[in-house]
Chain A
Amino acid sequence: DIQMTQSPSSLSASVGDRVIITCQASEDLSDNLNWYQQKPGKAPELLIYDASSLKTGVPSRFSGSGAGTNFTFSISSLQPDDIAIYYCQHYGTFGGGTKVEIK
């Protein structure tokens, strides 16, 4: 089974900071890696698909990169509305999640 190691598990940053989350896979995923945002009490929402494609309507401060086994998700300028847990996902496997908080 593929293992997805997401880090950090939590982070605290100031409004306007750049935030970076990584997801490392135990085997080559090509570019089949997606990123989701889950706000408290809500369903997850797709932000990035195929490693780097931004879903229509998602703010451009969100971005993704990587291929193979190493992937990165970034928020270029953290906003208060970005408080959430972020998950990477490949087929039936999700990363453990990263809780993003405002410092």
Chain B
Amino acid sequence: EVQLVESGGGLIQRGGSLRLSCAASGLTISRNFMTWVRQSPGKGLEWVSVIFSDSSIYYADSVKGRFTVSRDTSKNILYLQVNSLRAEDTAVYYCARWSGAAIFDFWGQGTLVTVSP
């Protein structure tokens, strides 16, 4: 059974940084495409980033240069380093597996990042 568990969210001041984690079980993150999606309170879903199995990485324009995706293959954990946080980065951050033509077939429960002004 695939399970994704995010952690690392919290209340952070504007301009601050956090490292979000996504611990995976039931799948090997290095052999899969893994993606981050976020959702601001009361808003829709926004794609953030993807890391492919060949380690190529892509970011949404809204986070490019501020967010960094990485993975620890020995621990089977996906990370999202979020820097220079802005009020508009306040959101629940979800990790998910990206299958086929960007089919997000397994999701974690999310971790909330709140950026205080």
Contact = CB atoms under 8 A, between A and B. Distances in A.
Interface of A: 32, 34, 36, 38, 42-46, 49-50, 55, 87, 89-97
Contact of B94 (A32, A43, A50, A55): A43
Interface residues of B, number: 18
Chain B interface, >50% SS class: strand
A90 B102 contact: yes
A55 B44 CA distance: 22
Contacts of B100: 49-50
Given A43-B108, A44-B94, A91 B44 contact: no
Given A36-B45, A91-B47, A94-B44, 19 more contacts: A32-B101, A34-B102, A42-B109, A44-B45, A44-B104, A46-B103, A49-B103, A50-B100, A50-B103, A87-B45, A89-B45, A89-B102, A91-B102, A92-B47, A92-B50, A92-B60, A93-B47, A94-B46, A97-B44
A92 B102 contact: yes
Interface in B14-65: 37, 44-47, 50, 60
A56 to B, nearest CB: 10
Most B C-beta atoms less than 10 A away, residue of A34, A43, A45: A43
